[in-house]
Structure 1
């Protein structure tokens, strides 16, 4: 099988794959398509952390029709720290196609509110891809105000990579352009130990949460958050926690507003959501029945009411 790919880092994260191929419908699954891979992040709260660093060493993808039996093989390898990288691993047996294999250092907190990192730009065989593996090392969290740096252990080592399933599968086909976004949710992937203040934090547990979204069937929610005010120009609010909630009450992802009071959440499946805005010292605000349309951007703005100080 011919393998040719271009790579991108989609962390902290998100991953965008752009695929183009032949124009004849009968040849959609033949030949090669083109793939770009990007990274973005659902950010960690900024009040305590200045950097969340990760080094991406490799990204590979699996053709769906070659996935049978591969999961069992991978599972048997999980946690095998001393395995020989030149041994008969799944990628060496032809189940995976390498998208990038160049060490790339990233601060995931820079990949927020629509910012992406291109990790791969490559030609690959046409077909449906149902799994991406992200190989990482060099994980660290840097606290603000000289609060210290914590180096973290990568679960299962870096041998098998972090498995991210693509549902539905990403189809690289002739005449089409398809985007895949990998969203590395920092706020859920890095769990503080000890407490929620600079003085009490003793470290972090790294439990990677990465969501893969086929951008051809996904959309974006974005907007601005200001303080409700009689001023001619309402003050913008930074670090407002924005939560995207599914109809069943599940938190899909979170983000925070930037210094301009803006936020953006990419890679959302088409459907209806509730958007919640929260900031200490203000009443929480909620927008319900927010509709996301594939390939489109939905605008949701908030005006938060300050809570009067107690006498």
Structure 2
């Protein structure tokens, strides 16, 4: 008895041929053209223009006059406020970024546990990040820490009278640091996503071996979460170096008291749009880019010793 033969698949007699590579490339570039034009006109072009202006004396009203490295020389040798701005920015980054990451990780670990109100708590903790560095938030923050503000009144109940944090050179920077720490919602969400990727079998095996919660956190959570910590560290460090709105509002654009809140971006704005020394401000902008690139490179180099990826042999 013979098996019935299966019908062969018929192919269309005139199947359309694939378009030539050159034609496909032209179509791809046609769809990419809006992005390419935007990048050229709004990013690459202004960057090259600012690089040229950094070597000129330019006041926005007259033609730029080429001066070579004069702007850079003045920054390092004749401008005491430049070093003050660098120091205030570095202190802000060193104080705010680590504490913000620790707070975000701690809250993420707590929110990772199943509970009825989990969605509400996640939304509540993420809400400050939705507001961002808005002018309204900075104004409220300034009112809270001004003389007679809520923070001053609460501390006066226990006998501590500051007279206002924003007018105290020793406390004004702390106001901005607290504002930066308060907005930890974005890294918290990223930490939550990373915690969901850790296999629960690892915790079960460690619990069977007698490891407590703290030991499981140190031996499992932190190593498995190290790539996420690295990612948040890079993003938050870059973001902290570029803080402007909060410092501008809290200090009324002066960077005071005593240059304690004179962040680098605020001083750059003063030079470019108050003193109209746009060439000088362009030189400052390129130094900021170089500084952020150097710090980012150092973070990447250090990651070799503490960032662990799944399946990696060591």
TM-score band, normalised by shorter chain:
under 0.3
Pair member with larger Rg: 2
TM-score norm. by structure 2 comes to 0.23
TM-score norm. by structure 1 comes to 0.23
Q: Which has the higher contact order (CA 8 A, sep 6+)?
A: 2
Q: Which has the higher strand share?
A: 1
Q: Which has the higher helix share?
A: 2
